[in-house]
Copies of this chain bind each other. A is one copy, B any other.
Amino acid sequence: MQTERQIQIIEESIKLIALKGIQGFTIKNLSKAIGISEPAIYRHFESKTAILVAILDSFKEMAGMMSSLPFDEEQPAVEKIAFIFFRMLDVFTEQPTIIPIVFAEEIFKNDNMLKEKINEIQNLNLQKIETIIEQGQEAGNVRQDIDKSSLAIIFLGSFRLLIKRWDLNNYNFDLKEEGTKLVNSFKLIL
């Protein structure tokens, strides 16, 4: 369980990284953002790395929730995939600060444990989509001339690029609109 202060530290850390990059994520900047002294941070996390671990764990939890959505098996793959992506669009529009972290694995290249965690999260998402496509191909509602793994990479990859561009261009277009356009393209492709 996390205390209120711990949650606050995690949230401010995410904001800091989103805004200033991993190099701007210092205990000094963090404590300033929260309004307590630097050593006070260490009453709630034993190290800076521990904060990063907590951030990634919260992301993993989120990814886990996303990938364990209880779908009606009868539903065509197109619908399931559209549902997942729309859900993600909601999450990112509500909390745009997580984008640079979720999609920037290189940030954690320093630490092997963190790198592993990021990789796990990515695989979780990719596999979920692959499974849905597989089921669709078996049920005959998804084209079979393209491999399920290729289709999964195509969907997730293009979705990631769209979201990253939205972030990089200071949210200057309507993500939900463009996202819907993209997902509709997915429907035409499947």
Please give, as numbers and ranges, the residues of chain B lying within 8 Å of A151 by CB-CB distance: 185
CB <8 Å contact, B145 and A188 = yes
| Complexed CA–CA distance, A104 and B150 (Å) | 22
> Any chain B CB within 8 A of the CB of A119?
yes
A173 CB, nearest partner CB in chain B, Å: 11
Please give, as numbers and ranges, the residues of chain B lying within 8 Å of A155 by CB-CB distance: 158
CB <8 Å contact, B147 and A185 = yes
Which 8 residue pairs spanning A and B have beta carbons closest together? A157-B161, A21-B109, A157-B158, A104-B106, A154-B158, A157-B157, A150-B185, A100-B106
A residues whose Cβ falls under 8 Å from a Cβ of B: 19-24, 100, 103-110, 115, 118-119, 122, 145-147, 150-151, 153-162, 164-165, 168-169, 181-182, 185, 188-189
Contacts A105-B164, A119-B169 given; 13 further ones with Cβ under 8 A? A22-B22, A24-B109, A103-B106, A104-B105, A104-B106, A146-B188, A146-B189, A150-B182, A153-B165, A157-B160, A157-B162, A160-B160, A189-B189
A-B contact pairs, 20 of them (CB 8 A): A20-B109, A20-B110, A21-B108, A22-B22, A104-B106, A122-B165, A146-B188, A147-B181, A147-B185, A150-B182, A154-B154, A154-B157, A154-B158, A154-B185, A156-B158, A157-B159, A157-B160, A157-B161, A160-B161, A189-B189
